[in-house]
Chain A
Amino acid sequence: MSEWEPKIVAFLCNWCSYGAADLAGVGRMLYPSNIRVIRIPCTGRMSPKFFLAALRQGADGVWVSG
């Protein structure tokens, strides 16, 4: 890999941002492909454990969206 690309783990709420991501896909919108989406049932499911687990396993950033 010639140029470094950030790896971002995205924790998306099933009902909000995951829906938005779905809609963006259906609408064929373009967005950076650095994010790896993890669907969570609700942003309330988010825990600091997840964030740390992501970083520990080599993510460059974590994005939580509700």
Chain B
Amino acid sequence: MIDYTQKIREIAARLLKEGTVDMVIGFRKGTVPMMNEPCFIRKPEEADRLVWDSHCGINLANYLYDRKEKIGVVAKGCDSRNIVTHIVENKIKREQVHVIGVPCTGMADKRRIGALSEKDGEIREVSEKEGRITVKGDSFTKTFEKKEVLQDNCTTCLHRNPVIHDEMIAEPVEEQTGIDPFEDVKRIEALSPEEKRAYFQGLVADCIRCYACRNACPLCYCPTCFVDESRPQWVGKSIDPTDTMTFHFLRAYHCAGRCTDCGACERACPVGIRVRQFTKKLNKDCVELFDWEAGLTLDERPPLDTYRPQDPNDFIK
């Protein structure tokens, strides 16, 4: 991981010096441990602010669109898929981005680590070495296997290596095989309508409607979000269960066929709602009905954007 950081700094400095890009977007250390922040760099000498470790879960594709300058961006597998989605949706031109691909072995879930060391007090410091993450507090030190504290979506990730890149900082990592990313969706599908409703009502019961999931999501770039529209008002502003459900439900629908399951929404949620449960069902449908996973190719239009005579239509009378 240290050499990843070194490599990213070198590349960023070089790109800025040569004038290939006007700006590099990467990560820098956050003010709180395990919370790295996005970092925008315009001068070669600023490049040593960049870092890379297992806490770079924020999706940097979120900061790319509606910009004029040429941008270099540090991208994991999921970020690169979101960049592809942006290019396909004409939010940015391919020539405008210089993708610095980072083979990713998953990001650590700070909530999981936090829960495992909750009794010990606040975590002040974090470091990692050879696939192990060590956290330090005032009076304790704990080490975890990174594999055991991964973000939920990273454990079922099938595209760890960037799908597009202009340069890679390291050799691609081995992709995970033999896992079923939709195991939990299948479990919910087996429930009765009553049980499903209860499950989802329970899931969003804590929602405070802060819309952090929307803001963290690279797909949510509508100039006016449906939740902010008041004429007509599609969703009430209150935390009425119906309104909350409507919000989550419509948000998921807006991501249909576009979501790359990067986990940004879940990571951003302040109350820990597993919001991916909504989008995952639609991802599964896209795989099953259209054999489609978002952001894998620049040459194909997404399924909800095209008509094919063989599209399923059994639901229509």
Contact = CB atoms under 8 A, between A and B. Distances in A.
Interface residues of B, number: 8
A52 B250 CA distance: 9
A52 B234 CA distance: 8
A53 interface: yes
A37 to B, nearest CB: 17
Contacts of B249: 48, 52
Contacts of B246: 52, 56
A56 B250 contact: no
A45 interface: no
B242 A49 contact: no
Contacts of A52: 234, 246, 249-250
Interface in A7-38: none
A53 B250 contact: no
A30 to B, nearest CB: 20
Interface in A38-53: 48-49, 52-53
B69 to A, nearest CB: 35
Can you list the 4 inter-chain pairs with the closest CB atoms, starting with the nearest? Answer: A49-B234, A48-B253, A52-B246, A56-B242
Given A48-B253, A53-B234, A56-B242, 4 more contacts: A48-B249, A52-B234, A52-B246, A53-B232
9 contacts: A48-B249, A48-B250, A48-B253, A49-B226, A49-B234, A49-B250, A52-B250, A53-B232, A56-B246
